[in-house]
Amino acid sequence: MDFPPLAWPAELYDDHFMLLDESSLPDAVRHIRIDDCKGAVAAIRAMQTRAFGQLLTVFYALILTARKASSAEGLRRAVEAACEDLNASRPTLSFQPYTDKVRAWTLDALEAGDERPAETLVGRIMEWLDRIKTMRLNRARLAAGLLEDGDTILTHCNTSGELLLAARVCRAGGKRLRFLATETRPYFQGRLTAWELSRDGFDVTLIPDNRAAAVLSAGKCTKVITGADRVALNGDIVNKTGTRQLAMLARRFGVPFFAFVQEPGTTATGEEVPIEQRDPVEVIRFRGKDVYPAGTDAFYPAFDMTPHPYITALITFEKILKPADLPAGWR
Amino acid sequence: MDFPPLAWPAELYDDHFMLLDESSLPDAVRHIRIDDCKGAVAAIRAMQTRAFGQLLTVFYALILTARKASSAEGLRRAVEAACEDLNASRPTLSFQPYTDKVRAWTLDALEAGDERPAETLVGRIMEWLDRIKTMRLNRARLAAGLLEDGDTILTHCNTSGELLLAARVCRAGGKRLRFLATETRPYFQGRLTAWELSRDGFDVTLIPDNRAAAVLSAGKCTKVITGADRVALNGDIVNKTGTRQLAMLARRFGVPFFAFVQEPGTTATGEEVPIEQRDPVEVIRFRGKDVYPAGTDAFYPAFDMTPHPYITALITFEKILKPADLPAGWR
């Protein structure tokens, strides 16, 4: 199955990559050219890419960095510096587990006395990305197994194409689905979800974030599925602001709540995850226009933490896991 | 105490009234001229006025109608027609109890053989509006009695200045308050609340609608207060979409939830109240700019119903009433 745009939002060339600018969607399907790690950090900070696109940006930036190195020592130093810059770009979805891998691969190649360490490193990153692709497809198939013919799925923010991948699996199996997408203020990522689902022929309806309880109470939604920027070993998730109340309300109305998750790494509980505070101007202004009076105070932590008791099950790369059944050190 | 702009958003002249255009706030403080009932209906439908402003518009439009009548029979017919048009303008906040009063006053004047029935009618409407002003001030004082020094109050949509009136009473009594205002998508009425509170010197911070659970769970809010477009005899309220989930989340986190209410009339439960479905384009476009792809489906019921068990107390014109203690036929 080919990946939809938001599921693999960049294309790699020899000395640059082209990144789908998610901030300009759906008005324009525009790609920005990224030549180096600095450009990658800027795109991540400006939220021109987000969620899975950030990881892809990190890996592609490290490939460009490796390709430019002219010596073994230069490679080591350049990778080191790039990893530090990338790790510092945004705090909540931590890139460190990924940059740590790339650092380790770099040292492997250097210590093995590899003649072309940069090429070896690039090969390993590409291999890893292929593995991620397969793992994500597998996760989408697992999610499809949770869905039934006639389901109406409420989602929040955007799952980087993964809910769409699951929906395609359902369609191929003859299951009909409908979608409700929250707007997801202040960045309106609901526009991304509406865009990707509707261009693929799925029935999707937007609702204001504040409409969730009314929709759930009216029995208009049979399942809630979101992504998760982070998951902890106890099953807590950290995801786009608003996920917590959606999960609480779903529980209140007896609607199951699922989340696509990555590997938890060493994070014990959701409380440990730093919550990024973004500039309140992102609440105040929308597309260059002030929504609020000059000088208005706003509060915009980009994420919130959903405690595991509100989560019916986590959709991991390998299986569906109930938080209560998580094995120690699961992945 | 003089009324802040949103608490009394129109000024009456001989043959027209000037209505504060709430849709252009806070960019511009603009008034629109209303000459007749037709203009009043158009302003109500376009949400240039809302909440209490709608009632004021209804009464002022009926005054203009009365002043233009040239005979007793003409007055009766014109009032009848105007009441019908006004009642049909928006469904959820019903104007009927108010237009019924004006119809009854018209018939009183005609049956009494009054020589200047139109003048008598206008006099009764003005008297009634004065009474409403006094009742609203009283309700704001009751609300102030619920608030304590150091409180942080979360509000939703806009209470037509009533929360601000209560805040002024608190300030005069030395109580310091802070406010959190939800944005209230899709119309962003939070901009009205932020505008009126900040221009009066109060500390107000906007939060996205989806941030309520995170704010409540962090203990950052000590009370929730909203208005209510309708209240039922059992204590259910119908208010701006999003009120229901706010009340549910407040209950979950042990934060009291209060609502300013009018008289219930004969509405037995919230289920009886028709919920206005507004044009989905109001979700799709913001200030002339598309937020979502052309053809995106959206769902925008303007109100939702909050069942009385989630309400700590109703702030009526005369007292603070817990839903469980409501006397039969209370007002």
Residue A250: pLDDT over 80:
yes
User: B300 and A182: CB-CB below 8 Å?
Assistant: no
Average pLDDT over residues B2-26: 95
Placement of tokens 């809010």 in the chain: B221
**B185 contacts in chain A (CB < 8 Å):** 183, 185, 208-210
Residue B203: strand pairing partners:
B178
Return all residues near B73 (Cβ < 8 A) that are at least 6 apart.
none
Query: H or E stretch including B43?
Result: helix B37-45
Domains contained in chain B, CATH given = 10-134 (1.20.120.420), 147-325 (3.40.50.10470)
- At A1 the pLDDT is 64
The percentage of chain B sitting over the pLDDT mark of 90, rounded to a whole number, equals 86
Q: How far is B10 from chain A (nearest CA, A)?
A: 22
Query: H or E stretch including A10?
Result: strand A10-12
Rounded-to-integer distance, Cα A246 and Cα A237, Å: 13
- At A272 the pLDDT is 96
Exposed e or buried b per residue across A56-65, where buried means at least 16 C-beta atoms within 10 angstroms of its C-beta: bbbbbbbbbb
Tokens representing residue B255 in the block? 């934060």
Mean predicted lDDT score pLDDT of chain B: 95
Give phi and psi for B65, each to the nearest 5.
Answer: -60, -45
pLDDT tens readout for residues B115-129: 999 999 999 999 999
Residue B117: is the preceding peptide bond cis (ω within 30°)? no
CB-closest option in B195, B214, B280 to A241: B214
Q: Tell me the catalytic residues of A.
A: 229
Q: How far is B163 from chain A (nearest CA, A)?
A: 18
Residue B1: pLDDT over 80:
no
pLDDT tens readout for residues A194-235: 999 999 999 999 999 999 999 999 999 999 999 999 999 999
Residue A169: pLDDT over 90:
yes
Placement of tokens 């769902």 in the chain: B299
CB-closest option in A190, A217, A293 to B26: A293
Placement of tokens 């209230």 in the chain: B184
Strands B230-231, B237-240: parallel, antiparallel or unpaired by DSSP?
antiparallel
User: B27 and A245: CB-CB below 8 Å?
Assistant: no
pLDDT tens readout for residues B154-173: 999 999 999 999 999 999 99
Tokens representing residue A164 in the block? 């769409």
Tokens representing residue A193 in the block? 């979800």
Rounded-to-integer distance, Cα A323 and Cα A311, Å: 7
Residue B295: pLDDT over 70:
yes
- In terms of Cα–Cα distance, which of A220, A314, A308, A262 is closest to A92? A262
Q: How far is B82 from chain A (nearest CA, A)?
A: 34
Distances (CA, A) of B195 to A32, B161, B176, B201, B302: 38, 11, 19, 10, 22
Tokens representing residue A92 in the block? 């909540």
Q: Count the Cβ atoms, other than its own, within 10 Å of residue B261.
A: 23
Rounded-to-integer distance, Cα B32 and Cα B42, Å: 11
Rounded-to-integer distance, Cα B130 and Cα A196, Å: 55
Residue B320: strand pairing partners:
B315
Instruction: Write the ipTM.
Output: 0.88
Average pLDDT over residues B38-43: 98
Placement of tokens 């233009």 in the chain: B68
**B191 contacts in chain A (CB < 8 Å):** 291-293, 296
Rounded-to-integer distance, Cα B37 and Cα B44, Å: 11
DSSP 3-state of B286: strand
Residue B94: pLDDT over 70:
yes
**B204 contacts in chain A (CB < 8 Å):** 296-297
Tokens representing residue A115 in the block? 């003649």
Tokens representing residue A329 in the block? 């050190």
Question: With contact defined as beta carbons under 8 Å apart, do B53 and B9 qualify?
Answer: yes
User: A191 and B293: CB-CB below 8 Å?
Assistant: yes
- In terms of Cα–Cα distance, which of A248, A293, A275 is closest to B181? A293
Residue A117: is the preceding peptide bond cis (ω within 30°)? no
- At A26 the pLDDT is 86
- In terms of Cα–Cα distance, which of B10, B12, B7, B13 is closest to B21? B10
pLDDT tens readout for residues B58-71: 999 999 999 999 99
The percentage of chain A sitting over the pLDDT mark of 70, rounded to a whole number, equals 99
Burial (CB < 10 A; 0-12, 13-18, 19+), residue B160, is: buried
Rounded-to-integer distance, Cα A240 and Cα A181, Å: 13
Tokens representing residue B303 in the block? 């109100």
Q: How far is B206 from chain A (nearest CA, A)?
A: 4
Tokens representing residue B161 in the block? 């200045």
Q: How many CB pairs under 8 A join A and B?
A: 174
Strands B313-315, B320-321: parallel, antiparallel or unpaired by DSSP?
antiparallel
**B246 contacts in chain A (CB < 8 Å):** 210
pLDDT tens readout for residues A109-131: 999 998 999 999 999 999 999 99
Query: H or E stretch including B153?
Result: strand B152-155
CB-closest option in B194, B215, B249 to A292: B194
Query: H or E stretch including B179?
Result: strand B178-182
Contacts 24+ apart (CB under 8 A), A115-119: A117/A72, A117/A75, A118/A66, A118/A67, A118/A69, A118/A75
DSSP A277: B
- At B5 the pLDDT is 96
Give phi and psi for A252, each to the nearest 5.
Answer: -60, -35
